[in-house]
């Protein structure tokens, strides 16, 4: 092993060093300013990949896509409600298969309630529990799932004088 490889490993794995556990660019800048060795970025990357001692991670891709805007007046104007499927982990979660997720769109406040199933009765009871905490929205937006269109959920929302909106499916318009 060459002395410059030991030098790079010492820089990379020493937490006291400002370039420790950094990417190839920062490592290259540090080596260049330190002046002990003249190494190219290519050489640093090649040494890292061939020996497997230094792991450089790539930055995640930024994927931006157009979203529909939702205009709300203030807190508790509109809530988004959906179910999160956790059935994969039900044996670790005392048999809970779903989580009811309720988000106040304006304040981004979140309520989470575990559910054993996604029947209308379970969803209505969880929604009733969220609404019993003192806050109540003007509108609730859900998907068109049967659990949200159930008689019990609709009657609860009607009783609390909450307008129920259904989200449209995403359509690619390209």
pTM of the entire predicted model: 0.61
pLDDT, tens digit, 9 for 90 and up, residues 123-141: 999 999 999 999 999 999 9
Q: Strand 98-104 relative to strand 78-85: parallel, antiparallel, unpaired?
A: antiparallel
Is residue 172 domain-resident?
Answer: no
Is residue 100 domain-resident?
Answer: yes
What mean pLDDT is predicted for residues 152-162? 96
Same domain, yes or no: 34 and 96: no
The whole domain housing 22 covers 3-51
| DSSP per residue, 29-48 | HHHHHH-S----HHHHHHHH
pLDDT: which is higher, 153 or 48: 153
**Res 64: pLDDT:** 75
**Is the per-residue pLDDT at 171 higher than 70?**
no
Between CA 113 and CA 130 the distance in angstroms is 8
- Lowest mean pLDDT of 3-12, 59-68, 80-89, name the range: 59-68
Between CA 117 and CA 103 the distance in angstroms is 20
| Main-chain dihedrals φ then ψ at residue 85, nearest 5 degrees | -80, 115
Residues 6 or more apart whose CB falls under 8 angstroms from that of 57 comprise 23
**Res 36: pLDDT:** 83
Between CA 133 and CA 32 the distance in angstroms is 60
């Amino acid at each position: 092993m060459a002395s410059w490889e030991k030098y790079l490993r010492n820089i990379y794995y020493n937490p006291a060093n400002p370039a420790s556990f950094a990417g190839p660019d920062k490592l290259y800048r540090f080596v260049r300013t330190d002046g002990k060795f003249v190494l190219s970025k290519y050489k640093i990357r090649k040494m890292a990949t061939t020996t497997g001692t230094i792991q450089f991670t790539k930055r995640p891709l930024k994927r931006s896509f157009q979203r529909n805007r939702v205009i709300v007046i203030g807190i508790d104007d509109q809530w988004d409600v959906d179910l999160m499927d956790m059935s994969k982990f039900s044996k670790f979660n005392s048999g809970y298969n779903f989580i009811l997720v309720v988000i106040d769109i304006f304040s981004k406040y979140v309520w989470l309630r575990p559910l054993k199933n996604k029947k209308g009765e379970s969803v209505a009871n969880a929604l009733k529990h969220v609404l019993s905490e003192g806050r109540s929205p003007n509108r609730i937006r859900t998907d068109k799932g049967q659990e949200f269109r159930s008689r019990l959920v609709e009657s609860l929302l009607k009783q609390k004088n909450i307008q129920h909106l259904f989200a449209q499916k995403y359509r690619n318009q390209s």
